[in-house]
Structure 1
Amino acid sequence: MTAVSRPAALTLPLQDSERCFSGNPADLKPKTAVLFRTAPLLLDCGRALSDVRVAYHTYGERQKEATLVLHALTGNSAVHEWWPEFLGEGRPLDPSRDFVVCANVLGGCAGTDGPAELGDLALSLRDMARVGRALLDHLGVQRVRVIGASMGGLLAYAWLLECPDLVERAVVIGAPVRHSPWAVGLNSAARAAIRAAPGGAGLKVARQIAMLSYRSPQSLAATQSGQRTPGVHAVTSYLEYQGEKLLARFNEGSYLALTGAMDHFQPEDAELACVRVPVLVVGISSDLLYPAAEVRAGAALLPNAAYWELDSIHGHDAFLMDAGGLPERVEAFLKGP
């Protein structure tokens, strides 16, 4: 069974950005490619897909070597919108020097084929890595440095296992080598909420569950104490706002598919021991979702990994909220021999 063929690549509308990228304005525009036209993509579930649409951003001049950014669960390919501390001249992702690529993952809802096109099927992170590799082939990229945080960090491990000949080095931020029962349990509760209340209400609750795991008690005490309106706790208003905001831009089918792919990514220690390229693994001191000790233990399974810890009270989301010395550490590693 194959996806519906499309006669040509589509152009997606440019979304407004709250933060302006100071590089080439053309880099702000999303692009699309239709891949697997002559040979299908065989998914791990056994289904074959043809004419797979992939939406992506590139920054800088096209080169044979690139830096590939892998986005988080509800993220997208517009790195200039959500990671301005990392993207720009003199930063770790420097378009004046590097060719930077970020693609929306298969199964998402930001332009790449997702549930609306694929229906209800099981996807894997390895499937997503294969799609990403096909995109890099389409762009003429022969070697790549990979950087991913959260789900993007898990996906970076999939890249290391699926594409060892292509990856030169990798940065994994706030992600373990595989999901623990704790992480699977949180995702299971979120999926149960979506299935129990389809049509949007469940997705809002799923987001509220996730947001609690993305922050820490200290972070919420510092930012969401007291009442924002009479009789309503500030943290309650915050969670409701986050649920509404996600509902406006995300798809419950994508949430089910992507969290399922994350939960089922369970590489064996022996596979990880075969990863020979340099890897920088970053834990976050107050991370409740992926505790620093768990991230550090995963790094120890890699023969050529270095571990560094970001000290922040803001939990898992510190890589977005409170990057501290992380950009400098990542830039030094990416520039390494």
Structure 2
Amino acid sequence: MTQAAPSTHLQSEPEGCPPQQTVTLFQHEPLLLDCGEPVCNVRVAYHTYGEARENATLVLHALTGNSAVHEWWPDFLGAGRPLDPGTDFIVCSNVLGGCAGTTGPDELPTIQGQPARLTLRDMARVGRALLEHLGVKKVRVVGSSMGGMLAYAWLLECPDLVERAVIIGAPARHSPWAIGLNTAQRSAIRAAPGGEGLKIARQIAMLSYRSHQSFAATQAGQRVPGVPAITSYLEYQGEKLLARFSEQTYLALTEAMDAFQPSDYELRGIRAPVLSIGISSDVLYPAAEVKAHAALLPNSTYWELNSIHGHDAFLMDAQDLPERVRAFLHA
């Protein structure tokens, strides 16, 4: 349950963009995490677009994303696009355990000296409390990558709220391959705390976000004499993430993704219409895996984005993806 009158704060954004807002929830009745620990005074940072109403479109961000949809998904946000502030009320919040304004891992209870482990279902329950605060009673959900897995958690945790969902480039649960990649990234962070490990983790992740063909097309040759373009690219990506992200958040969110393992039985119980989108060259979440999980849902449609750019194609090579999503959301 949420507090009747939670406190809300605004943070300034560049001109023409909506401000980030922050609300403190669970001020009197705690959020009970799946690990059994209660948490009070959960701070949630979020953005909204369009006029507030009881029906909304909920956007769920990726692992290192944030609630500022206008910054990272411009192809999807705007007049005539899937997320149209002129006709829809759009909500995106930073997830519990993140590092972009919402309560982070260091603020959670500790168990034997370690922050309480979070689950994707915990994040969905915090999101539900935010929607209650905003007066939203029904949502259409759109999630990509980690946000797509979180969309599955919403479908399972909040079936009364979710009218339909779009899941882009995400399976229902992590394979041993995906868990192995995350394990290597977490090992790098723990072996070299203080920033170097996070940079290496990002480099490992970037290799799984693109494809052989994508790097051949975009990172061939050298940008600096004697340094392969791919090397300078990966080093830049590591430095860039270190400047804006938390290693504790990286650990917490990747662990939550790995632990999310809904059964086939649970997936067959999802009744809402779902559009599941695979990416032809995705090596992190192969299209066949995304399609197989979608096939377990009683009311699902599968579509595949044909791109050489791997997992990140939903950001860098959207093609017909926005129109497919727009048509499904407004069917």
TM-score interval for Structure 1 and Structure 2 normalised by the shorter chain: over 0.9
- Show CA shifts across 1:275-307 (max 9, x none): 011000000000000000000000001000000
Structural mapping, 1:165-204, within 5 Å: 165-204=160-199
State the SS of the aligned residue for 2:275: strand
Which amino acid in the other structure matches residue 115 of structure 1?
A: P
Can you give the 5+ residue segments of structure 2 that lack an aligned partner in the other structure?
1-5
Offset, 1:9: 4.1
User: Aligned-residue CA RMSD in angstroms?
Assistant: 1.2
Whether the aligned pair in 2 keeps the contact of 1:12 and 1:111 (CA below 8 Å) is no
Structural mapping, 1:22-171, within 5 Å: 25=16, 27-118=17-108, 120-171=115-166
Which of 286, 299, 307 aligns to 2:302? It is: 307
Whether the aligned pair in 2 keeps the contact of 1:69 and 1:147 (CA below 8 Å) is yes
The match for 2:311 is 316
Which amino acid in the other structure matches residue 31 of structure 2?
A: L
Give the distance between the partners of 2:30 and 2:232, measured in 1 at CA: 46
- Show CA shifts across 1:94-153 (max 9, x none): 000000000000000000000232262200000000000000000000000000000000
Give the distance between the partners of 1:13 and 1:126, measured in 2 at CA: 30
Whether the aligned pair in 2 keeps the contact of 1:287 and 1:315 (CA below 8 Å) is yes
Give the distance between the partners of 1:301 and 1:186, measured in 2 at CA: 25
Which amino acid in the other structure matches residue 137 of structure 2?
A: Q
- Show CA shifts across 1:209-268 (max 9, x none): 000000000000000000111110000000000000000000000000000000000001
Give the distance between the partners of 1:30 and 1:138, measured in 2 at CA: 16
Which amino acid in the other structure matches residue 106 of structure 2?
A: A
State the SS of the aligned residue for 1:178: coil
Whether the aligned pair in 2 keeps the contact of 1:9 and 1:53 (CA below 8 Å) is no
Give the distance between the partners of 2:282 and 2:116, measured in 1 at CA: 31
Which amino acid in the other structure matches residue 283 of structure 1?
A: G
Offset, 1:8: 4.5
Give the distance between the partners of 1:319 and 1:39, measured in 2 at CA: 39
Whether the aligned pair in 2 keeps the contact of 1:200 and 1:247 (CA below 8 Å) is yes
TM-score (ref. length: structure 2): 0.95
The match for 1:273 is 268
The match for 1:252 is 247
- Show CA shifts across 1:27-46 (max 9, x none): 52100111111211000001
Give the distance between the partners of 1:231 and 1:285, measured in 2 at CA: 33
Give the distance between the partners of 1:13 and 1:122, measured in 2 at CA: 32
Structure 1 segments of 4+ aligned residues over 6 angstroms from their partners = none
Which amino acid in the other structure matches residue 35 of structure 2?
A: C
Which of 301, 321, 328 aligns to 1:326? It is: 321
Alignment of 1:298 onto 2:288? no
Whether the aligned pair in 2 keeps the contact of 1:148 and 1:155 (CA below 8 Å) is yes
Which amino acid in the other structure matches residue 139 of structure 1?
A: L
TM-score (ref. length: structure 1): 0.94
The match for 2:215 is 220
Whether the aligned pair in 2 keeps the contact of 1:130 and 1:162 (CA below 8 Å) is yes
Give the distance between the partners of 1:317 and 1:146, measured in 2 at CA: 20
The match for 2:3 is none
Give the distance between the partners of 1:196 and 1:10, measured in 2 at CA: 38
State the SS of the aligned residue for 1:28: coil
Residue correspondences, number? 321
Give the distance between the partners of 1:11 and 1:146, measured in 2 at CA: 24
Whether the aligned pair in 1 keeps the contact of 2:10 and 2:19 (CA below 8 Å) is no
